Amino acid sequence: MADERIALVTGANKGIGAAIAEGLAAQGLSVVVAARDAARGAETARRIGAQAVMLDVTDDASVTAAAKEVRDRFGRLDVLVNNAGISGGRSQAPGAVDLGTIRTIFETNLYGVIRVTEAFLPLLRAGTDARIINVSSGTGSLAWMTDPSHGFAVRGSMAGYPVSKTALNMLTVQYARALSGDGITVNAIAPGACATDFSAALGITLERTAAQGAAVVIDLATGTARPTASFLSDEGEVPW
């Protein structure tokens, strides 16, 4: 169908990414579930009525091959959701930092987004009303982190994960500025703390579901409003 919209979501085999992919498919988009484990990606794609592609955001060859596959299948991309991300675990406390852990976090949460965005840009330029949505985190908000009345102020400090998300926020603004002439919007979102393997591995028990976290992405991907260079949650603008 000429007017079908094509969306690709990274890290879409589970968690918030799977919920985003499922929500977009339910809205009638042709969704590509991108996952580093091909079998698990295919399983999620089958469950939600989507296609799958193997994509490891840390691997140049895998990202290049995935972009070629999407080009061969569809010839374009209308929505790119950079969702894949890792917490990096607990070896991030300032004063006891494992630098290798920090590098690993940045390789996925920041360099991975750059790698994927660069590879898919030609396809997004060929798309219509194209949108890039970066799944950031409220922990990347300098405003919230430095607000003594905010819940984040009483949490432990981390030298890796939140720093990678603050960098991702600035990356979002830089791509938004660069791509405004192409009509491509670029925004960051904070899904809120959701019960996924990510939070479970940190020993955090939460009631908010991945689907609730995904809702802001689905609105941004499908809505008529076309903000760019914004940082949004389902409650509105997040202060940078």
Ligand X SMILES: NC(=O)c1ccc[n+]([C@@H]2O[C@H](COP(=O)([O-])OP(=O)(O)OC[C@H]3O[C@@H](n4cnc5c(N)ncnc54)[C@H](OP(=O)(O)O)[C@@H]3O)[C@@H](O)[C@H]2O)c1
- Give residues in contact with ligand X (CB under 6 A): 10-11, 13-17, 35-37, 56-58, 83-86, 108, 112, 135, 137, 191, 193-194, 196-199, 210
Set 14, 68, 111, 165: catalytic member: 165
For 33-98, the DSSP string reads EEESSHHHHHHHHHHHT-EEEE--TT-HHHHHHHHHHHHHHHS--SEEEE------TTTT-TTS--
CB of 128 to ligand X, least distance (A): 26
**Known active-site residue 175:** no
Which one from 14, 68, 111, 161 is the annotated catalytic residue? 161
Compute the least distance from the CB of residue 217 to ligand X, in Å.
10
Between the CA of residue 22 and those of 41, 219, 223, what are the distances in Å?
Answer: 12, 13, 16
Annotated active-site residue 165? The verdict is yes
In degrees to the nearest 10, what's the CA dihedral of 213, 215, 217, 219?
Answer: -160
The nearer residue to ligand X, 11 or 127, going by C-beta atoms, is: 11
Q: Which is nearer to ligand X, 65 or 126 (CB)?
A: 65
Which residues are CB-neighbours of 200 under 8 A, at least 6 positions away?
none
Which residue, 24 or 210, has its beta carbon nearer to ligand X?
210
Rounded to the nearest whole angstrom, what is the least distance from the CB of residue 124 to ligand X in the complex? 19
Q: 36 or 150: whose CB is closer to ligand X?
A: 36
Residue 146 beta carbon to ligand X: minimum distance, rounded to whole angstroms: 18
Count of C-beta atoms within a 10 Å radius of residue 62: 19
From the list 182, 167, 13, 184, the residue with the least C-alpha distance to 83 is: 13
Residues marked as catalytic: 161, 165
